[in-house]
Structure 1
Amino acid sequence: MAAPSPKPPTPRRRGHHQHPPSSTFTRRLHVARCSPDPPPPPPPASMPPNPNPVLSLLSAVPDWADAIQERRVRDRRPLYDHAAWREHRSSRRHLRHLLTSLSSRAILSLAPPVSAFTAFAAAIATYNTLLPAYALTASSLPYQLTAPALALLLVFRTEASYARFDEGRKAWMRVLAGAADLAGMVMHHPNNLHTRPGTGGRQADDDDDPLRRALINYILAFPVALKCHIIFDSDVKGDLQGLLAEDDLNVVLASKHRPRCIIEFISQSLQMLDLDEQKRSIMESKLSCFLEGIGVCEQLMGIPIPLSYTRLTSRFLVLWHLTLPVILWEECKWIVVPATFISAASLFCIEEVGVLIEEPFPMLALDALCKQLHDSIKDVMAVQNSVHSRLVAKTTKDHRGSRCENNGWPSSKREEAKID
């Protein structure tokens, strides 16, 4: 007896969904991704037991320069004051800059390429001196034709880097201005008034004061969290510890995107604050500058200048200085060595400055800007409390004996008649 043929699968009807088995309901749901997960990083290659001493010696100078450069990136930069500006425009600045050249991050990072090209020029000069019949020489016409192209590459590279630096600076100014504006609106929020029994007057309701103080701390914490978000190896816990409570700090530290977590604290605090709808909507609209600042900062950090442009400039500089001793030998002889050194130091320094300011945020005094905002808000709060206490004391003063004597007004009808 033949086995019964299996039933064909029932086709799915459009508009209806087939429910999976009940066991699949226990599985966790995953958010759909626009792109597949990145592959896991390859395991680190094991170091050879006996590295080549020549390669170790050649890589010692670049490693030393990179270590100094990365250490200087983490240095905190101060804001300029009147004394700093006076020193900045001093007529002795050229001598001071020359004497501090060895401590410059841009100059120290030039040690590997400049020393390599100078040594290569010395090797070419030695070869041409020992074997003059087979000397390596060439016409200088190609250099005269390509020099403007190299100049344009360096100029455009530096201008593009400074445009990124200026965009990052403006984004931070908008974030700080928005934080100061929002904190000022919270501080000048009038308390609701109600009549307390037995007081015979209307007293201020201070129920919102703890929430307002916490909201101001959230606002002050946002620039700090954004700074730690875009600066590598920042001490997030140490920077936020004096601004947030312990439980709030734990929530922020557990978040994957800490600036957006603090924005959520600010938004929900505004909803809990006793405000009219118009003022609440105005305050919530101030959060758009925070979100815009996050977007600009993440874009500048994640998207560099097109790498093809950077690589073209680097390759052009390398080929230029590799062939420079050959071009200059007939006219300069051994002067090609110092000429190559000066040319490499000058042109590579311009390219290095463009690379440094391409990442704008380590070049900005973000710590000093955050501290300046914190100090200014605290000073405004102190002044506001002092002025409020003074005005309350004046309005509650007994007017029976004298009428506003502290303000210079007449204290009796007789003095009023004299003034009339």
Structure 2
Amino acid sequence: MITSVITSVRVAKPTCQTRPTPLAKPNIKKPVLSATGNTRHLCRSFKELQDPSILETALPALEPPRLDRDEYKESSRARLRTVFDFDRWAAHRSTTRYTRHMSGIFTSRMIRGLAPTLSFVAALSTSVATFHQSVDCGIIETPENIRNIVIFNSAQPLLLTSTVLGLLLVFRTNASYARWLDARKSWGILVNRSRDLVRQGLTWCPEKEHALRDMLCRWIIAFSISLKCHLRVDEDAIVELAELDILPYAELVALAATQHRPNYALQVLSTVLRELARVLPSANSTLILNMDMNLTAIEDVAGTCERILSTPIPLAYSRHTSRFMIIWLSALPFALWEPLHWGMVPTCFVISALTLGVEDIGVLIEEPFSILPLEVVCSTIRGNIVEMLEIQNAESGEDAGNNGGGGNGESIDVVTRKVSASELVRRAKFESDVSNLRIQAE
């Protein structure tokens, strides 16, 4: 029910559209009419004039630019979100990995994604081989000077440039891996800071302020899910939060009305810390400062992820690498005909697949958020916070009724019943006091 209602008020993500030309010398005192002409919106400030809804009514919508998109490669990126466990690590280290990897070479997503480029190389190699064979058989007669230009049979230029090509590919792959690693480390920081922030809140928040404590927990979960959806296409945080029943209806509606949902979640968490500072004693000001530092670290994670998403490796470098590779691979059939003849065709195909595959790996991991298992990270954050909250809410008196504070010798089934940390501390102090009394009595 919540999902159906939220859909009507949900604000969609901004799409990749060409921004309209800004109004020249806007008169902010004049009213701007809506599309229906029935409602007048007074633009009392330049901030209101920049409202996208007003600009859409004032200027005609422009068609977004057409961008190349490989549907197969984009749809297969979700399959790369692999999470390793003990069994996967054992298989990863197994010597049978060579057989397993080679058996799937023809069904590899990378090879299938490179099919258009590999088809071009195969067609060019076949054409070069056919031309050489026709010249050797006398089917095609060409002047000697033209033949010397067309029949290029020296591998020296390729050998001289192969080192440069290797350096380009290594730098491209290393730079992309650094971006991937930076993104994964950022989400690791988010997991750690979220745990620490919840731990501090559950430990120091007074029992009567359970509303603040619960709000702190659920909005940290909401932030992680909002950030994940903010970094991906075709994912909506409102729908996911409604399905998981994380936020109450009013809070879900408030989040749906915002454009930058992770930023709004941070604002809510900051307000929770402010209210928590009011109910805590003044001696705990350092605690609030530490919690705010954790919140700042979480905000830095969002900024780092947005930087990685919006700033690729310099495009000039990527373009030059692609051009270098295509020219180099296009010259390869001419250099390999003399020593290999028709064996040149499969050789060029294999060399192209290996070389293009290395470059494609760099492109694949350059934008890491669509291949990282962020939903698993969000699920880990949610599971840890829910468990910590359940343990904190465990009734302290239940243990006293079950084992009499440890006096009747009954053990605690920690697998079936969650025990709060404060309860364990009280039990340890009780047993220590009993032991001291026994020693004094003896």
TM-score by length of 2: 0.73
SS in 2 for 1:234: coil
Structure 2 residue 323 is the aligned partner of structure 1 residue 315: yes
Aligned to 1:251: 254
Query: Shift of residue 288 of structure 1?
Result: 0.8
Structure 2 residue 77 is the aligned partner of structure 1 residue 73: yes
Aligned to 1:156: 171
**Residues 228 and 235 in structure 1, CA contact (< 8 A), matched pair in contact too:** yes
Aligned to 1:234: 235
Aligned to 1:223: 224
Would the alpha carbon gap of residues 216 and 362 (structure 1) be closer, same or farther in structure 2, given more than 3 Å must change? Answer: same
Aligned partner of 2:269: which letter? I
Structure 2 residue 126 is the aligned partner of structure 1 residue 122: yes
Would the alpha carbon gap of residues 117 and 249 (structure 1) be closer, same or farther in structure 2, given more than 3 Å must change? Answer: same
Q: Distance in 2 between matches of 1:297 and 1:120?
A: 42
> Which of 20, 25, 28 in structure 1 is aligned with 2:44?
28
Residues 15-59 of structure 1, C-alpha deviations (whole Å, 9 max, x = no match): xxxxx99989x642113999xx9x98743799xxxxxxxxxxxxx
Query: Shift of residue 67 of structure 1?
Result: 2.1
Aligned partner of 1:81: which letter? D
Q: Distance in 2 between matches of 1:138 and 1:361?
A: 45
Q: Distance in 2 between matches of 1:120 and 1:268?
A: 64
Aligned partner of 2:44: which letter? R
Residues 183-226 of structure 1, C-alpha deviations (whole Å, 9 max, x = no match): 111111242xxxxxxxxxxxxx52x1122112210011111111
Query: Shift of residue 297 of structure 1?
Result: 0.7
Q: What pairs with 1:12-411 in structure 2 (closer than 5 Å)? A: 27-31=43-47, 42-43=62-63, 66-75=70-79, 77-132=81-136, 134=147, 136-191=151-206, 206=208, 208-241=209-242, 242-273=245-276, 274-276=279-281, 277-386=285-394, 388-389=396-397, 407=431
Most deviating of 323-332 and 387-396: 387-396
Aligned to 1:50: none
Would the alpha carbon gap of residues 184 and 45 (structure 1) be closer, same or farther in structure 2, given more than 3 Å must change? Answer: closer
Would the alpha carbon gap of residues 416 and 288 (structure 1) be closer, same or farther in structure 2, given more than 3 Å must change? Answer: closer
Q: Distance in 1 between matches of 2:339 and 2:248?
A: 72
Aligned to 1:57: none
Q: Distance in 2 between matches of 1:330 and 1:40?
A: 61
Aligned to 2:14: none
Unaligned runs of 5+ in 2: 1-26, 32-41, 142-146, 408-426
SS in 2 for 1:339: helix
Query: Shift of residue 278 of structure 1?
Result: 3.2
Query: Shift of residue 165 of structure 1?
Result: 0.8
Residues 77-135 of structure 1, C-alpha deviations (whole Å, 9 max, x = no match): 24211111111111111111222334433222111111110111001100111123546
Would the alpha carbon gap of residues 185 and 40 (structure 1) be closer, same or farther in structure 2, given more than 3 Å must change? Answer: farther
Would the alpha carbon gap of residues 79 and 33 (structure 1) be closer, same or farther in structure 2, given more than 3 Å must change? Answer: farther
Query: Shift of residue 150 of structure 1?
Result: 0.5
**Residues 43 and 49 in structure 2, CA contact (< 8 A), matched pair in contact too:** no
**Residues 137 and 330 in structure 1, CA contact (< 8 A), matched pair in contact too:** no
Would the alpha carbon gap of residues 104 and 392 (structure 1) be closer, same or farther in structure 2, given more than 3 Å must change? Answer: farther
Q: Distance in 2 between matches of 1:233 and 1:368?
A: 18
Residues 209-257 of structure 1, C-alpha deviations (whole Å, 9 max, x = no match): 1221122100111111111101111132232222111111111121110
Q: Distance in 2 between matches of 1:45 and 1:410?
A: 78
Q: Distance in 1 between matches of 2:191 and 2:305?
A: 14
Residues 126-158 of structure 1, C-alpha deviations (whole Å, 9 max, x = no match): 011112354622321111111100110100100
Aligned partner of 1:327: which letter? A
**Residues 180 and 377 in structure 1, CA contact (< 8 A), matched pair in contact too:** yes
Unaligned runs of 5+ in 1: 1-19, 47-61, 192-204
Most deviating of 92-101 and 146-155: 92-101
Would the alpha carbon gap of residues 160 and 23 (structure 1) be closer, same or farther in structure 2, given more than 3 Å must change? Answer: closer
Q: Distance in 1 between matches of 2:385 and 2:342?
A: 64
Q: Distance in 2 between matches of 1:315 and 1:253?
A: 45
Q: Distance in 2 between matches of 1:105 and 1:298?
A: 28
**Residues 28 and 45 in structure 2, CA contact (< 8 A), matched pair in contact too:** no
Query: Shift of residue 383 of structure 1?
Result: 2.9
Residues 248-293 of structure 1, C-alpha deviations (whole Å, 9 max, x = no match): 1111121110000001111112222322433223222221112211
Q: Distance in 2 between matches of 1:115 and 1:230?
A: 34
Q: Distance in 2 between matches of 1:121 and 1:289?
A: 54
Aligned partner of 1:28: which letter? R
Identity %: 31
**Residues 28 and 49 in structure 2, CA contact (< 8 A), matched pair in contact too:** no
Q: Distance in 1 between matches of 2:160 and 2:73?
A: 35
